[in-house]
Every structure is written in C-alpha cells, then in structure tokens.
Amino acid sequence: MDILSLDATGQLQALAALRISARELLEASVVRTDRLNPKLNAVVSRDLDRAYADARMIDERRARGQRLGLLGGLPMTVKDAFDVEGLPASAGVKALLDRTAEDAAVVARVRSADAIVWAKTNTPVYADDWQTYNSLYGTTSNPRDLTRTPGGSAGGSAAAVAAGITALEIGADIGGSMRVPASFCGVFAHKPTYGLVSQRGLVPPPGVVADLDLAVVGPMARSARDLRLLLSVLGESPIPAQAPPAELKRLNVALWLDEPTFPLDSDTKATLETFVRRLQATGAIVDQITCPVSAERLMSTYILLLFAIIGANLPWTERHLYELLRGPAKIARAMGANALSWAQCVLAYTARHREWLQANDARAQLSDAMQRFFTRFDVLLAPISPTAAFPHDQRPIRRRTLKCSDGHEITYIAMLKWIALATVCGLPATAVPAGLNAQGLPVGVQIIGPRGGDVLTLGVAQAVDEQFGGFRAPPLK
C-alpha cells in the first residue's frame, strides 16, 4: 500500500507499529513532492536539514520506548502565511522574504506534538484571493484539473493535501480561505469558532500580536477524523483528539441552498442536492430554509468589517482616492447600491470608528439571532462557493467573472456570499466533500454549528465521511 494514500491517523498508526520510520515517511513525502510539484507548484520552500534531524531524533525516541506526542513523526507542510523558524513567511510578497521570525503559535504546537514541519505551501499575495499565484513563486494548480485553480488563499495547502504530499495542513480563513480551497480540491477543512486557535505568527500583517478581526486559524486534511486530531493540538480550549462520529439518524438539519441574491451554479446545486438525499437516507431530518438572518444586513456588515481591515493596510495614495469617493459612495448607497457595490466597498475601506462600532453591533445582533436559530436546529448545511474550481484567471480582480455551467456569468466578489454567515458570527464551519459535479470537479458543503459547537460539526463531518466516503484521490501520475 502507498503509505501516503493513508490519512494522518493511518500514517501515525503505521509509525507507531514500526511499519515505517519517521525518516522513511518524510523521505516518501519529499520524493512525491519532487515528482508532483513541477505540475502543481504547491510547495514553495523547504527546510530538509532540520526535518531529517527531527525525524532521526523521533525515531531514536521511539526506539527507546519514550512517549511521543499525538503527531509523533508525522511530516507536515504549512501555508506560507505562518511564521516558521528558518523559512520565510512571505505571503507571496517579496518585501517580506528576508524576515526572520520565531514559529507561529500553531507551528510551535504541532512541533511540541512531535510533527515534522518541513515545507511551506503557496498562497496568493497577502493571502488575499480565491486563487493562488504570486510573482515570487508562480501559480499553483488544482490536482484534479491543472488548468484550474485549487482556490485560495490556502490553495497550496489544499493542493498538497489532495495530492498526498502532506496529510495535514494549517490554514487561516477570513473570506473562505480554507473552505473554498477545500471545496475546490475535494478535501476537508475546519473553520473553528472565532478565538479557539491562536493567530500569533499569522502573516499578514507580520509582527502583530492582536488577533485579526473575523479571521480564524484551523486544520485541513483528507479525513474528518484528522481535522479533529489536529484541532486538538492547535486549540486553546480542550478538544478531544478522538471521538465517535455523530449519530445522523434524527439529526435536525437546516438546509440553505436557495437565496435570491446569492448565486449558485446549477451543477453545484445538483451535486449538493444529491448529497442531501444521501443524508436524508440515513434518517437525518432535513428542513429547507432561506437565510436565517437578513441577507442584505449580513453582507453589508461583513463588507464593512472585512474591508475596514484591508483598508487599514492600503497605501496612502490609494486610501486618499477612496476618501475622495466617500461622498459619492454615500449617495449611491442611499439610492440603493447593494452591499457588494463599489459604494459599500469605498465606505468600508474608509470606515470611521463610529461606523465600525455600528457594524460591530449589527454583528452582535446577527450572532444572537443565530444562537436562537440553533435552539431549533442542530446544524446548518450551506454551499461554500457559487461554482466549482474555475480556470486560472490572473486579470485584475475587477475584470474577473465566474462562468456558470449554463454559460451566464456572475461577479467574482460573489465568492464572499455563502461563506459570510459563519465568518461574521464567529461560528464553526466544517467543509466536507459533497461529491463531483457533471464535469468531474469536487464540490464541498459546509456544516455550520452554534458558537462553540466545533465538536458537533466535526462529529457530523466524521459521520458523513465514514458513511459516504468523502475524499476521492485525484488522477495524478
């Protein structure tokens, strides 16, 4: 059997049973990377000297019968948006290449659990796109179709996991940066409850101690049980490393597939509907709903909170231009410009503190509404992206569109819509593969739970994984 085809739990069992050594497993990962990376461009930097030294030490400790951590001897890659001692954390930006830094908090945690961190994976410039390319390292491709993106910003992470280069990855999600790549590449990811996992050492911006609003750090893997395993290492609060799957029979599920202002490609919707029928066949109770909160208020709140973060780091000249446009933007919003319009983006880029406070209060009200919602339902199922993985498109963002299977086009920024609810309200959301669409491309679904309900969404994901068979290896050679 190809050891790298196993999930992390399977590889750890092989290590514990001495069927393979940590050094041999690391070597297998490096060999696979050398073979596949010229096609994928997922791995962008390596620290093999330290990795092989760590592997040798772990093998010696295991031979002496010493107790190892939960990830004892498992080789891992990490998204190039986390500080890793000895490797650059550039986030695709040349100016950040020469930084020296200590391990990010999550990297230190996996090392303390005896994982072997040996490489970094590609991410877009400033980790700010739903596809993965930059002038430093180039374009990362989807393992299932090299002409298409693996998503972003954890596109290199998802591609490496799907291709078997690594069994575990660490990503961050503020605009779907883990959920979208997981959906596009057919792997698993977990967006934790806000604040559950430390952001220290997350880039950009470098050197910041305070947690970034809206953003979370979480695990990516080829199985739901591996998400739980890695989150148990990463989390600031106790999460069990192993647990039985949730019981799907009589699980009370809200299904959100239809929203007038949220586009969803018909092929993607059909794949999700097939997934839901399989879920119903297990005895789950599924009720179709519309957005649990006002969709317009959700999106206007999200855009102000999100783009205020981006605006804080804009060059002065660009910010000054947006300041000049504030007046026309206010008029446009008053005349009916929507939450994803240029007007709302301008107002968000230049948000005043009072405006941010108003958006923050709106967020609190939306969060309260979701807490009440989860007294009636166990989990909420929703799409992740309007479409499956799309062809590489490196035009300026304002010129990009998404083409649906029936030929019509939707705006690129519509990628923000389905992922907004969990992000704004700080809710856990587990991305699981739902199946392949008519073109043979992966489609994911997010299982959203109440705040603090990470164990619940992971348990449901594990049940789905075990009963439906979630990950399907791409046809790479």
> What is the DSSP track for 99-136?
---PPPHHHHHHHHTT-EEEEEE---GGG-SSS-EETT
Confidence at residue 315, expressed as pLDDT on a 0 to 100 scale: 86
Length of the chain, in residues? 477
Instruction: Count the Cβ atoms, other than its own, within 10 Å of residue 356.
Output: 15
Confidence at residue 313, expressed as pLDDT on a 0 to 100 scale: 81
Instruction: Count the Cβ atoms, other than its own, within 10 Å of residue 117.
Output: 27
Written as one letter, the residue type at 148 is R
Low-confidence ranges of the chain (pLDDT < 50): none
CA distance linking residue 98 with residue 345, whole number of Å: 33
Confidence at residue 198, expressed as pLDDT on a 0 to 100 scale: 96
Q: Where are the domains of the chain?
A: 3-234, 295-361
Confidence at residue 433, expressed as pLDDT on a 0 to 100 scale: 98
Confidence at residue 477, expressed as pLDDT on a 0 to 100 scale: 73
CA-closest candidate to residue 322, choices 210, 13, 314? 314
Confidence at residue 204, expressed as pLDDT on a 0 to 100 scale: 82
Confidence at residue 101, expressed as pLDDT on a 0 to 100 scale: 87
Look up the CATH number of domain 3-234. Answer: 3.90.1300.10
Reported as type and span, the H/E element at residue 433 is: strand 429-436
CA distance linking residue 437 with residue 285, whole number of Å: 24
pLDDT digits (tens, 9 = 90+) for 72-128: 999 999 999 999 999 988 889 988 988 878 999 999 999 999 999 999 999 999 999
pLDDT digits (tens, 9 = 90+) for 247-275: 999 999 999 999 999 999 999 999 999 99
Confidence at residue 1, expressed as pLDDT on a 0 to 100 scale: 73
Task: Write down the pTM of the prediction.
Answer: 0.97
Supply 260's token pair. 């007038």
Q: Tell me the torsion sign for CA atoms 441, 455, 256, 393.
A: negative
Confidence at residue 439, expressed as pLDDT on a 0 to 100 scale: 95
Q: Please name every residue paired with 148 in a beta bridge, in sequence order, or none if there are none.
A: 391
Residue 16, sorted as left (phi over 0), alpha (psi -120 to 50) or beta, turns out to be alpha
